[in-house]
Structure 1
Amino acid sequence: MAKPKRVGIYVRISRDRKGQELGIKRQERACRELCEQRGWSVHKIYPENDTSASTTSRKQRPQYAEMMRDAKAGVIDAIVVYSIDRLTRRIAELTSFLEEQKAYAFQFATTEGEDTSTASGRMILTIKGAVAQQETERMAERINGALLQRREQGKPHAGGKRQFGFKAGSHFQELNDEETNLIRLGYEMLVRQKSPGDVSRMWSERGTTTPQGATWTIQAVKRVYRSQRTGGIITYKGQDIGDSTYPSPLTRKEWESVQVVLDRRATPAAQGSGKRKHVYSGFLKCGHCQATMRVQWATIQGRTFRRTFCNSSQRGGNGGLGCGKVNRKYDWIVERLNEVVEAALLTRQPTPPAASHGELTDEVREAEERIRLLRLRWKEGRMEDEDYFDSLTHLRVQLQQLRTREADAVAASTRTETDALAVWRDESEENLERRRAVVASVIKEVQVFSIGRGCRKPPETDSIKIALVSAESGGQEE
């Protein structure tokens, strides 16, 4: 075989904590010595520092990919590595490498003396590659086992960026008191039907930023409350393992209540919900095209008043643009609808307080006790690992379902009104959303028709058509 004229040296080390590249420099020296002994000329060095080549690594190896492209293109005609496990720790990748070497006829050598020119040499090289992969996988098993044991002991993963609510450098074991108080204030706002946007504004007004120094946004707030660490929940590979032994900004029950609130906000808003400036915004429909009518303040000839109109740039109920035919004063419509809502509320009895959730709480405690006893049996060696983890997974799913139901009930109870009429008569600005919720329990929608221009007398009552919410028929018209 002809002597190579352009040799590529590939050097790699999996971890370099100090970044001094001492490992790859030692490999490069050994590879250069081998080239000198054989009289080969070094053309290029392909270094991969702090880069794993194991089956568990997700890092890309750009230098390795570049080296293979150069070998296929004939830029280099030989590859030298320190040992086979520096080239790869994946048997599939090694097999592909040997096939490409044969196809493109470049030479290959290691400082350990492997020979790929014979079948026996390739077999030995393949065996060494399989051993390297096995070592990597066994190491991963030991590490995963140790990580799982830490999780079972209630110790959270200590890595990653600092999270809001925890002290920097504490490995999620100590709370930042000021940030924890803000998280709890935000929790109380969310369960009282405030939005994540309200929480982000409150946190910003208090002069705080995200742990990375950015301004609070709705998504940033959601990430805080979506994180299991906020509720002191330990997870392993996405599975709920147990509760942390260290303090957390919220309890597990509070965290699960917040998830119910956020999940509900993620679904399409119900009629009458959402941020509005007017009580009946969203309920008024154009009587001609069924488009949702807008409400706004207008000033005409020095007079300022509110009007509702069909917007010709907005899609109607038939998918087309609004007709723009209806333009009415809003206050007369408000007076008429207020009469309808109050009359309906006067016929109702106050909603009784929500029943206690003692039964669900007892079921949660029973499931938690079963998990505690199961863990005790496993620690005492009276259960096999496989049986333990299968049983634990089943019980954890059951417990999660119970806690979700309990949290749902708690969240629902915070929204129960004991006297809708009292809520309706509170016309303060901060009570607008609650009043709209009361409207949605009485009125399904209101069709508004045009009354013509220049009409100064009060409009006819049939110029609006009110569809009421009815338990039996789903709605009736007035």
Structure 2
Amino acid sequence: MEKNKRVYCLYRVSTKGQVEKDDIPMQKQYCREFAESQGWTIIKEFAEKGVSGFKVAAADRDAIQEIRQDAEERKFDILLVFMFDRLGRRDDETPFVVEWFIRNGIEVWSAMEGQQKMDDHIDKLLNYIRYWQASGESLKTSARTKTRLSQIVQEGRFRGGIVPYGYRLEKQGRFNKKNHEVNEILVDPDEAAVVRIIFEKYVYEGFGAQRLSRWLYNNGYLNRKGTNFANTTIIKMLKNIMYVGILRSGETRSEIFPELQIVPLDLYERAQELMEARTMHHNEVPFNSKGKSLLSGMVYCAHCGSKLVLTTSSGRRAKGEPKRETRIRYACHYKIRHPQDCDGQTGYSGEKLDGIID
């Protein structure tokens, strides 16, 4: 067996949970021990954390692209992985990635499965079958996960992720199969009161998201981070069907769980109708191809660095009066959404600012 071969190692885990379980250190240990037993020298190691070998193409994986570049420059002799599926799980791509390395003089080895060869058609067929099986396992795992998440929401339990504003997690004495006490999702009374205010003002008082953002901030209602509710956050809250007491996972919707309901169904549905009615549906072709301001898209707030956006107004006019001239203003986009985080002006006269440049 030839000694002193230069080795690149590639380690990969698909999820954050695998990172927390120290899967990459385990892969390193096996690969290092295997290389040492072969008399090889590891000169570089790559670790991909939270990268799906099924969902992410090789062209979008920085580690694979760097390894391919070094292979072309003959900087190493062997590509070593813990198992071959660490290279990927795409049956329409990964076999050809492996074949590319071998064709370019790089040996491809697995610490658990040995060397992948391409000496004849049988080797190529086995190479393809391996990743066809890996791809199938990924699809099966995905299907099982979706099914389980659907079951969880149908049972009225939280599927995980960020807890929406208006709710909190709390242990209620339920244990999982590993005998670990798990959290249940409950309504947070203080936050739920704010959610109701948002829906009621939007539906009954005609507030828009931006106006709601300002009103909440001016009246001392802040989000969990202690800052104002951004208008985009308010829109997401108004669209969140969970406030009706319905849990969802993908296309799956649960029945209404009264203990999780913050707003009544009719109020939620009315909010959706208003949102749809207020949405401006634009044509694919812009109405104007020439801006009326000198610095459109090129000027920024000196206080927070946010881009200044254009706003226009013509003001109201009495019946019979001539139409007032449209006024152009530059407005700090970030200041509008987060008034407490920018100490600059909200807006600047377009005529004045353009005049300075002129």
User: Which TM-score applies when normalising by structure 1?
Assistant: 0.51
Per-residue CA distance 1:218-248 (angstroms, 9 max, x = gap): 3322221121222223333246554345422
Per-residue CA distance 1:266-306 (angstroms, 9 max, x = gap): 338xxxxxxx998xx2565765xxxxx34xxxxxxxxxxxx
Shift of residue 256 of structure 1?
A: 0.7
Unaligned stretches of 5+ residues in structure 2: 172-182, 282-312, 329-358
Instruction: Give the conservation status (yes or no) of the 8 Å contact 2:13–2:52.
Output: yes
Q: Within 2, Cα distance between the matches of 1:246 and 1:74?
A: 64
Q: Within 1, Cα distance between the matches of 2:162 and 2:169?
A: 9
The one-letter code sitting in structure 1 at the alignment partner of 2:270 is: S
When residues 104 and 57 of structure 1 are mapped into structure 2, their CA distance, relative to the original with a 3 A threshold, is closer
Q: Within 2, Cα distance between the matches of 1:259 and 1:16?
A: 35
Instruction: Give the conservation status (yes or no) of the 8 Å contact 2:153–2:249.
Output: yes
1:142 aligns with 2:147: no
Please, which of 234, 238, 250 is the counterpart of residue 247 of structure 2?
234
The one-letter code sitting in structure 1 at the alignment partner of 2:274 is: V
Please, which of 212, 218, 237 is the counterpart of residue 224 of structure 1?
237
When residues 114 and 182 of structure 1 are mapped into structure 2, their CA distance, relative to the original with a 3 A threshold, is same
Q: Within 2, Cα distance between the matches of 1:75 and 1:260?
A: 62
Q: Within 2, Cα distance between the matches of 1:172 and 1:254?
A: 26
The one-letter code sitting in structure 1 at the alignment partner of 2:125 is: M
1:13 aligns with: 13
The one-letter code sitting in structure 2 at the alignment partner of 1:205 is: N
1:115 aligns with 2:116: yes
When residues 192 and 204 of structure 1 are mapped into structure 2, their CA distance, relative to the original with a 3 A threshold, is same
Q: Within 1, Cα distance between the matches of 2:59 and 2:100?
A: 22
1:94 aligns with: 94
Q: Within 2, Cα distance between the matches of 1:285 and 1:107?
A: 85
Instruction: Give 3-state SS (helix, strand or coil) of 2:44's partner.
Output: strand
The one-letter code sitting in structure 2 at the alignment partner of 1:107 is: E
Shift of residue 10 of structure 1?
A: 1.2
When residues 243 and 20 of structure 1 are mapped into structure 2, their CA distance, relative to the original with a 3 A threshold, is closer
1:73 aligns with: 73
Query: Could you say what the CA RMSD is over the residues aligned between the two structures, in angstroms?
Result: 3.5
Shift of residue 113 of structure 1?
A: 1.6
Per-residue CA distance 1:40-77 (angstroms, 9 max, x = gap): 32221112244432348999643233222322332223
Please, which of 118, 138, 152 is the counterpart of residue 154 of structure 2?
152
Q: Within 1, Cα distance between the matches of 2:59 and 2:235?
A: 29
The one-letter code sitting in structure 2 at the alignment partner of 1:253 is: D
When residues 44 and 149 of structure 1 are mapped into structure 2, their CA distance, relative to the original with a 3 A threshold, is same
Q: Within 1, Cα distance between the matches of 2:262 and 2:318?
A: 40
Q: Within 1, Cα distance between the matches of 2:117 and 2:31?
A: 17
Q: Within 1, Cα distance between the matches of 2:198 and 2:16?
A: 42
Shift of residue 165 of structure 1?
A: 1.4
When residues 186 and 45 of structure 1 are mapped into structure 2, their CA distance, relative to the original with a 3 A threshold, is closer
Shift of residue 28 of structure 1?
A: 2.2
1:290 aligns with: none
Q: Within 2, Cα distance between the matches of 1:165 and 1:113?
A: 53
User: Which TM-score applies when normalising by structure 2?
Assistant: 0.66
Per-residue CA distance 1:399-427 (angstroms, 9 max, x = gap): xxxxxxxxxxxxxxxxxxxxxxxxxxxxx
Shift of residue 116 of structure 1?
A: 0.9
Instruction: Give the conservation status (yes or no) of the 8 Å contact 2:9–2:31.
Output: yes
Unaligned stretches of 5+ residues in structure 1: 269-275, 288-292, 295-310, 315-478
Q: Within 2, Cα distance between the matches of 1:313 and 1:282?
A: 14
1:161 aligns with 2:173: no
When residues 104 and 244 of structure 1 are mapped into structure 2, their CA distance, relative to the original with a 3 A threshold, is farther
Shift of residue 79 of structure 1?
A: 0.4
The count of aligned residue pairs is 283
Please, which of 174, 181, 184 is the counterpart of residue 196 of structure 2?
184
Instruction: Give the conservation status (yes or no) of the 8 Å contact 1:167–1:174.
Output: yes
When residues 100 and 4 of structure 1 are mapped into structure 2, their CA distance, relative to the original with a 3 A threshold, is farther
The one-letter code sitting in structure 1 at the alignment partner of 2:89 is: R
Please, which of 256, 273, 276 is the counterpart of residue 260 of structure 1?
273
